[in-house]
Amino acid sequence: MAQHKIIFAGPVGAGKTTAIKSLSDIPVLTTDEEATDMTKNRKPQTTVAMDYGLLKLDGGERVHLYGTPGQERFDFMWDILTEGGLGLVLMLDNTRTNPFQDMSFYVNAFREFIENTQLVIGVTRMDENPLPGLDRYHAHVASLGFNVPVFEVDAREKRDVSLLVQALLYSIDPGVKTNE
């Protein structure tokens, strides 16, 4: 049976684990550990290996949801994780000191994968911190060479995360038909 995967990336605390939990049909397998480095200032627990969730489709097909660890020291895993992926959902936290630096880091780290698939960006915690606005995110991702969906999202809301995935799929092929 065909297996597919979608990758969720982003800095610590941006909502990758929560987003996967919002979509997954199974309890999310997560490898959170007590943070011992600088990340503990943002989250008492953080993902040190990866998160894993699963979407079971009609006919037995499966879409695996992988969340990359937020810490850069685990970037050796990213190439393995992305192999065969449908695309990248990049989660960014609007309360971080410099979310654009985060965007640059992840877009450049996954550039080859994105260029062969597709990227969508979800900006979280805009209710806590409305600035910078989405216009600045669009401008920054344009400076990196991409015109991709950038949405304000709440990772706890299934609808928001689903819309990110919907945008990812339609960006690859707007011709996909549903009963919408």
Partner 1 sequence: MFKQKPKNPPLKVSLIGMSEKALQLFAMFLDGPVRGSCKVVDDGSHEAVIIDLDGVESPRLWLDMRRKFQGPVIVLSVTEKNLNHAFWVSKPVKDDVFLGAVTKVREALKNPPKQVAPSQEPSPRSGVGSAMQSPSAPKIETRPQPTEAVAESKTNTSPAAQLMSEEMDERSQNCCGQLEDAAYRSGDPSALFFDPNVTLLGVFRDAMRLTREGGIAKIERPGAHPIFVSAGRKFTSTPMPEAYLRAVCARNISDSPLSVNLIEIEPKDIGVSEDPRLRRLDNMLWKISLWSSRGRVPHGTSLSAPVRLRRWPNIPRLMTVPHGMRIAALWVTQPSGLLDTAQKLEIPYRFVFAFYCACQSFDLTEQLTASSPEPAIASGATAQPANQEKRGLFGRLLKKLGFG
Binding region for partner 1 (CB under 8 A): 2, 4, 22-23, 55-59, 61, 63, 87, 114-119, 130, 134, 138, 142, 145-153, 156-160, 162-163, 165-167, 169-180
Q: How far is the CB of 55 from partner 1 (least distance, A)?
A: 6
Q: How far is the CB of 64 from partner 1 (least distance, A)?
A: 12
* Of residues 34 and 115, the one with the C-beta less far from partner 1: 115
CA atoms of 178 and 105, how far apart (whole Å): 35
Q: How far is the CB of 169 from partner 1 (least distance, A)?
A: 5
* Of residues 29 and 172, the one with the C-beta less far from partner 1: 172
Strand ranges for 68-144 from DSSP E: 85-93, 119-124
* Of residues 49 and 163, the one with the C-beta less far from partner 1: 163
* Of residues 77 and 142, the one with the C-beta less far from partner 1: 142
Cis peptide before 132 (omega within 30 of 0): yes
Q: How far is the CB of 7 from partner 1 (least distance, A)?
A: 14
CA atoms of 54 and 37, how far apart (whole Å): 30
The encoded tokens of residue 72 equal 């850069």
Q: Which residues of 145-163 are buried (b: 16+ CB within 10 A; e: fewer)?
A: ebebbbbbbbbeeeebbeb
* Of residues 91 and 148, the one with the C-beta less far from partner 1: 148
Single-letter amino acid, residue 129: N
Q: How far is the CB of 37 from partner 1 (least distance, A)?
A: 33
C-alpha separations of 17 from 61, 92, 139 in Å? 22, 13, 27
